[in-house]
Amino acid sequence: MSFVKFSSDFLMETFTLVDNLFINEYLPECDEKQIKVYLYGLYLCSNPPKDNTIDTLCSALNMSEKEIHSAYKAFEDMGLVQVVSQEPFEVKYLSLKRANQPPKKYKSEKWNDFNAHLQQLFPERMLTPNEYNEYYSFIDSTKFDAEAMLMVVQYCINLKGNNVRYPYILTVARNWAQEGVKTVNDVEERLEEYDRQHDDMTQVLSALGRKGAAELEEKQMLLKWMRSWGYSLDAIITAAKTLKGSKTFSKLDSKLDEFYRLSIFSSEEMADYNKHIEELRDLAIAINKNLGVFYESFEHEIEVYISPWVAKGFDEDALKKIAHHCFLSNVRTLDGMNNVVNKFYAQGLLTSNSIDDYIDAQIRQDEKIKKIIEATGRTRSVTNQDREYYQTWSAVWLFDDSVILYAAEQASSRTYPLPYINQILSAFKAEGVKTVEDAKKVALPQSNAQKVSRDYDERTYSKEELRSVITSIDGLSLDDM
């Protein structure tokens, strides 16, 4: 949320500035929809974040997201904007200040041949001094060969026609320059690469359900996938066939980028990964159904919950069963289920059968504890504290249930029977009691209120003595003694 912001009235009364360079150089080449997108997007840059969305743009201009994406793709080719992200769609308007700066002076005789050849490539219109200057500036700053630049211009004309504008041409040249393509030989090799990949590109386009020729950006993507990332044509086609919905080069690039980050390169690895993702998706649907929740998208759930659970070793039936038990226990969120899953993991219970055995054992134990509670004259539900006490009495102190029941009967007259049961069983443990008969021979301890004197010699211990003896009792700290 913004700390300070303009009122809607204030925003309506202010102005959106449009650079004259856009009006002079770009607007004549734009269609009506492109002009609307550029100007309204420029206006949205000054609006609050909640209003600055592609949905707002679509609604205001009565255009589809696909049309908006297409317009901004054209502007990116012209060098007017930068598409920062495809999902979510985010665009950055670029500064055109260079148009307001005085152009650098170049000696005309140095560029005579270049100017003549460049103008011959555009027989239907006269190039402006500003266009020439942009080419000079680029060649001078990047050390790009002038003859190589003319080859790039010709290639762009072949792709886009004679109406192609210089920002697009310079964008292509700039991208190639960044890859080290600057000389005539470099450009020839790049164009030969494009020619050699014609058959490969045809197969990729077919896998995407596309007809017609590929765009320059798509040719560059294919080169990147095969030359820089090391993907085979079969792997690229496999990835293309796995795309859902509209199949585009941008989506294929995102999918291959995902595979590249996961070090997945072969068709077989892709097939296994996609099968695994589908299995996780089916598991997420089943868990959500048992848990009583619904989500339209599963990507976040799979990444945050399902994948980590499976990585811990839980089988699918176990996770479905845990989700069902969570629902019955009124735990109906993925976070809540995650806590339960972690508890089962701590106990080493990763399969459906082991969880069933554990739950059955807990139920049988609760039935025993309930009899102990009833022996004290009480009727109530079993609590976690009851379970902890019983675990200590039976598993640690090793008392038989019959001895525990006898102690419970002796505590029936007490207001707080469980603490007294602890005292009784502690006394039995000290006397080595194993059976009820043994227990009946031991005098029951008095409560704290009944004791008026100590029947033992009190001793004091040093911190070191206590530390050496009491080392296995969790939670006891002697540092503050």
Q: Which pLDDT band, with edges at 50, 70 and 90, does 373 fall under?
A: very high
Distance separating alpha carbons of residues 187 and 148, to the nearest angstrom: 6
In whole angstroms, give the CA distance from residue 160 to residue 169: 10
- C-alpha distances out from residue 301 to 61, 215, 336, 340, 343, Å: 35, 37, 13, 16, 20
Domain boundary pick from 99, 127, 151:
99
Per-residue model confidence (pLDDT) at position 94: 81
467 or 303, which is more confident: 303
Residues making up the chain, counted from first to last: 481
DSSP H helix total and E strand total for the chain: 25, 2
* pLDDT given for residue 473 in this prediction: 39
Residue finishing a domain among 149, 166, 194: 194
Both 25 and 88 in one domain: the answer is: yes
How many domains, the chain? 5
pLDDT value for 286 = 94
Containing structural domain, residue 244: 197-265
Can you give the pTM of this predicted structure?
Answer: 0.44
Considering 99, 126, 147, which residue would you say is the last residue of a domain?
99
Phi, psi of 473 (to 5 degrees): -95, 115
Structural tokens at position 302: 């799979």
Q: What is the DSSP string of 221-268?
A: HHHIIIIIS---HHHHHHHHHT--SS--HHHHHHHHHHHHHTT--SHH
pLDDT band at 7 (very low <50, low <70, confident <90, very high): low
Burial of 478 (0-12, 13-18, 19+ CB in 10 A): exposed
Q: What is residue 448's predicted lDDT score, i.e. its pLDDT?
A: 53
In a domain, 154, yes or no: yes
CB 309 within 8 A of CB 319: yes
- Cβ-based burial of 356 (10 A; exposed 0-12, middle 13-18, buried ≥19): middle
Q: Domain for residue 449, yes or no?
A: no
Query: Is the confidence at residue 420, as pLDDT, over 50?
Result: yes
For residues 85 and 26, give the distance between their C-alpha atoms in angstroms, rounded to a whole number. Answer: 24
d(CA 192, CA 295): 49
Across residues 431-450, what is the average pLDDT? 82
**Residue 18, CA distances (Å) to 47, 95, 167 in order:** 16, 11, 18
**Are 53 and 32 in a shared domain?**
yes
Query: What is the distance in angstroms between the CA of the first residue and the CA of the last residue of the chain?
Result: 51
Q: What is the pLDDT of residue 462?
A: 52
**pLDDT category of residue 463 using cuts at 50, 70 and 90:** low
Q: Does 447 map to a domain? A: no
